[in-house]
Amino acid sequence: MTRQNGGKTTRPAQRRPRAIQRSKQVNPFKTDVPFKIKDVKYCNSLSDEDETDGAAGGGDAEEMLRKMMQLKLGVGGEGEKKPKPKVLDSLDLDGIVSYIKSGKAKKIVTMAGAGISTSAGIPDFRSPGTGLYDNLQEYNLPDPQAVFDISFFRENPTPFYKLAKSLYPEESKFKPTPCHHFIKLLADKGLLLRHYTQNIDTLERLAGLSDELLIEAHGTFHSAHCTDNSCKKEYSQEWVKGKLSDI
């Protein structure tokens, strides 16, 4: 150990944690574990590297790091040479289909966005030209996203209600797509662990997916509640639908 710990660039020794006060040779990466002789060796290899001209110390440090990575993370060294068993035959839809058909997939999680509902006729939010945000001019909003801003809603709820009315899920108006039916099929076969959706259109429910398999992460038209924080009374979809018909 050639390094002098004179406090030139560090705090005074008396203010340091006890583990470091015991010896300047303690591995700086292990100050919270009991001091061990083998740590001194690692510390020498690491901390002397930039202060000595010799390459030997660097080699030791590399070897030590390589072994540590191999041990802790299972990367590098011998482990890397063994090919991991393939899950999918191919990284495409065919590969996924054959994996599901093989019977090995038993807990499938699906995650969906607006794309699975656009073929049902429901506009997404951000597509230029056809997206909802591009078609809100008639509401005279300060900005398109204000239609979903709760502070704006409290001042002027009409734009939201008008938009909600145009999007309101009714079986006669919007029908679930093959994608929704596929997710329901997974559920029927007992393979679906959970379906996460960003969509508020309730088409998963219309396809018959049950409540316990469904996470509507961005909310849903299925239920509504009073926006008064001290109230929060729940209202049914039918109740809201009745109110929207007056708009």
73 in contact with Zn ion (CB under 5 A): no
Q: What is the smallest separation between the CB atom of 162 and Zn ion, expressed in angstroms? A: 22
228 in contact with Zn ion (CB under 5 A): yes
Q: What helix, strand, coil percent values describe the chain, rounded to 5? A: 45, 10, 45
Q: What is the smallest separation between the CB atom of 146 and Zn ion, expressed in angstroms? A: 23
CA distance 204 to 218: 14
Cβ nearer to Zn ion, comparing 136 with 224: 224
Known catalytic residues? 218
The interface region with Zn ion, picked from 31-39, 100-108, 118-126, 227-235 by CB under 5 A, is 227-235
Could you tell me the maximum CA-CA distance found in the chain, to the nearest angstrom?
85
The pattern of x and - marking residues 174 through 213 that bind Zn ion according to CB under 5 A reads ----------------------------------------
User: Beta strand 192-197 with 108-112: parallel, antiparallel or unpaired?
Assistant: parallel
Residue 192 has a CB neighbour count (10 Å cut-off) of 20
The interface region with Zn ion, picked from 2-10, 34-42, 52-60, 233-241 by CB under 5 A, is 233-241
Query: In terms of residues, how long is the chain?
Result: 247
Phi first, then psi: give them for residue 11, nearest 5 degrees: -70, 155
Among positions 231, 234, 245, 246, the unique one binding Zn ion when judged by CB under 5 A: 231
Cβ nearer to Zn ion, comparing 53 with 234: 234
Total residues contacting Zn ion (rule CB under 5 A)? 4
DSSP letter for each residue of 15-43: GS-HHHHT-TTS-GGGTTS---HHHHHHH
CA distance 112 to 184: 13
239 in contact with Zn ion (CB under 5 A): no
Question: Residues interacting with Zn ion, by CB under 5 A?
Answer: 226, 228, 231, 233
